[in-house]
């Protein structure tokens, strides 16, 4: 099949997905298999397709995006690594792949396994306060624990996601293309926002006798916010202190880059 014929078929598939997102589970894996094609126009199309799929303008809802990312042992992350590793010769491929990685990172971070807490701290509370206030909040926090099937799945996905992050950092260090570097800055900004504690609402208070992470979760200004606050301290895969230290290092470096090149990179901050 020629490159033109392949692109025509991909365009038809894209039009179908725009009309009906229910076709994603059937079409998406087929598209991913083409990431290893040496044909540059095909790689450009796939990188742009991944960016469209996981953007806010996508026809997929949040649950649909998360399901696509988790299926087939995180095959989309393998495709991202292929495009990032073998697309060095084409800036458009690398730039769109980095941008799609910035969209994917917080979605998969949220999916990481969160073990349900076996303790019952609410026994210390009066009976009615427990049922009217504490129990609903505890259930909301515990609901985060059903995203990954088990810690093995979380370990696999997190390992691949960490590889993508490391590859983007390497591209940021090595690339001389301004568009690629700006895309890397956007990715770093998303990582920093995801790996740091969420913004707390000062109007919300909860007894310190409640589990500390539950207390942090309850005080978030937006409990749909994806941040390190949703991850428990005893997470089997994610080491929070290391991630927060990494984010601080990224922030320091990002600020130095922006100060060095204020005109070219500063617009990227507005993601």
Tell me what pLDDT residue 28 has: 95
Which pLDDT value is given to residue 139?
47
Please write the tens of the pLDDT for every residue from 58-115: 889 888 999 999 888 889 999 999 999 865 579 999 999 999 999 999 999 888 754 4
How many Cβ atoms from other residues are within 10 Å of residue 131's Cβ? 12
CA distances from 234 to 149, 150, 212, 238, 245 (A): 17, 15, 12, 8, 17
What mean pLDDT is predicted for residues 19-48? 93
**DSSP-assigned states of every residue in 152-203:** HHHHHHHHHHHHHHHHHHHHHHH---HHHHHHHHHHHHHHHHHSSPPPB-TT
pLDDT band at 215 (very low <50, low <70, confident <90, very high): very low
| CATH assignment of 1-113+150-177, among 1.10.150.130, 1.25.10.10, 3.30.300.180, 3.30.390.50 | 1.25.10.10
CA separation (Å) from 182 to 49, 253, 269?
19, 14, 9
Which are the contacts of 181, defined by CB distance < 8 A and separation ≥ 6? 172, 175, 265
> What are the residue boundaries of the structural domains of the chain, listed by start?
1-113+150-177, 117-147+195-235
pLDDT above 60: residue 130: no
Q: How far is CA 96 from CA 124, 173, 250, in A?
A: 52, 17, 21
% the chain with pLDDT above 70 = 70
Who contacts 32 (Cβ-Cβ below 8 Å, separation ≥6)?
46, 75, 76, 78, 79
- Report which of residues 50 and 221 the model is more confident about: 50
Rounded Cα distance between 230 and 223, Å, is 9
Angle, helices 24-33 vs 3-19, to 10°: value is 160
């Amino acid at each position: 099949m020629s490159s033109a014929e392949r692109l025509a078929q991909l365009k038809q598939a894209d039009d179908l997905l725009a009309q009906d997102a229910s076709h994603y589970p059937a079409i998406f894996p087929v598209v991913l298999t083409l990431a290893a094609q040496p044909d540059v126009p095909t790689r450009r199309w796939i990188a742009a397709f991944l960016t469209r799929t996981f953007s806010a303008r996508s026809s997929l809802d949040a649950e649909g995006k998360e399901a696509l990312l988790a299926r087939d042992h995180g095959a989309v992350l393998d495709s991202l690594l292929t495009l990032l590793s073998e697309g060095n010769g084409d800036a458009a491929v690398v730039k769109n792949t980095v941008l799609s990685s910035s969209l994917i990172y917080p979605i998969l971070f949220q999916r990481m396994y969160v073990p349900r807490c076996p303790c019952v701290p609410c026994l210390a509370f009066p009976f009615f306060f427990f049922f009217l206030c504490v129990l609903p909040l505890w259930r909301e926090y515990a609901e985060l624990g059903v995203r990954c099937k088990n810690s093995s799945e979380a370990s696999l996905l997190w390992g691949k996601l960490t590889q993508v992050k490391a590859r983007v950092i390497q591209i940021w260090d090595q690339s001389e293309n301004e568009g690629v570097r700006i895309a890397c800055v956007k990715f770093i900004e998303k990582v920093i926002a995801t790996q740091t504690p969420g913004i707390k609402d000062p109007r919300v208070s909860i007894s310190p006798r409640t589990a500390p992470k539950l207390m942090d979760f309850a005080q978030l200004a937006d409990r749909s916010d994806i941040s390190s606050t949703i991850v428990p301290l005893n997470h089997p895969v994610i080491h929070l202190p290391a991630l927060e230290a990494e984010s601080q290092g990224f922030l320091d470096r990002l600020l130095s880059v922006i100060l060095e090149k204020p005109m070219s990179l500063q617009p990227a901050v507005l993601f």
